[in-house]
Amino acid sequence: MPATYSFREKSRSFAYLFVLLVLVWLAFTSSFRLQEVTIGIFISLILAIVISREYLKLGLPPLSIKRIVFLLIYILVLFKEIVKANFDVAYRVVHPKMPIKPGIVIIKTDLKSDIAKMILANSITLTPGTFTLDILGDKLLIHWINVKAENIDEATKIIGERFEKYLRVIFA
């Protein structure tokens, strides 16, 4: 993580944040009236100035179109996995025999930054039926409601890979 950022990185981070904030403003207001668009641009400009500086201080990778696209895809995948896991857990709860096989498994991650590992751990925890207990270097300790694989590689593929493939691009 570089301690100082070039003018290009700062400018690019600011520009992407500004455009993203304006688009979010337009999506939430659903209006293209001059007064509302002007206010949205002004608020987005102020926020982009403040957030872009803080964003760079966090040591996160500089924003790019590719990272933003993968972040949006990641959010959709996370939402889909949360919905699927909710149905799976609900099925197990209402099933007369309650088919569960709880246990603790270890998965491995290729992510290098602490924030990327934290986001992976939180994503796993947000999906019902799994809970991240700890992060130990490149391994995550996971409580799983229905253990399908005890092998590290298989458990990693089932639990972590669905999120990690997007996080690798976002935090590369």
| Domain carrying residue 123 | 65-170
Asked, for residue 2, whether it belongs to a domain, the answer is no
Is 72 found in the same domain as 27? no
Q: Does residue 127 share a domain with residue 52? A: no
Residues 91 and 159 occupy one common structural domain? yes
pTM of the model: 0.73
Give the containing element (helix H, strand E) for 107: strand 103-108
Cβ 21 vs Cβ 49: under 8 Å:
no
Look at residue 167 in the predicted model and tell me its pLDDT.
Answer: 94
8 falls in which pLDDT band (50, 70, 90)? Answer: confident
First to last CA, the chain: 11
pLDDT in tens, 34-72: 999 999 999 999 999 888 877 777 767 777 889 889 999
As for how many domains the chain has, the answer is 2
Q: Which helix (H) or strand (E) holds 16?
A: helix 7-29
Residue 99's pLDDT band (boundaries 50, 70, 90)? confident
Judge if 140 and 84 occupy the same domain: yes
Backbone angles phi, psi at 142, to 5 degrees: -120, 130
Does 1 map to a domain? no
pLDDT at residue 3 is higher than 70: no
Phi and psi torsions of 131, nearest 5°: -150, 125
| Residue-wise pLDDT tens digits, 130-145 | 999 999 999 999 999 9
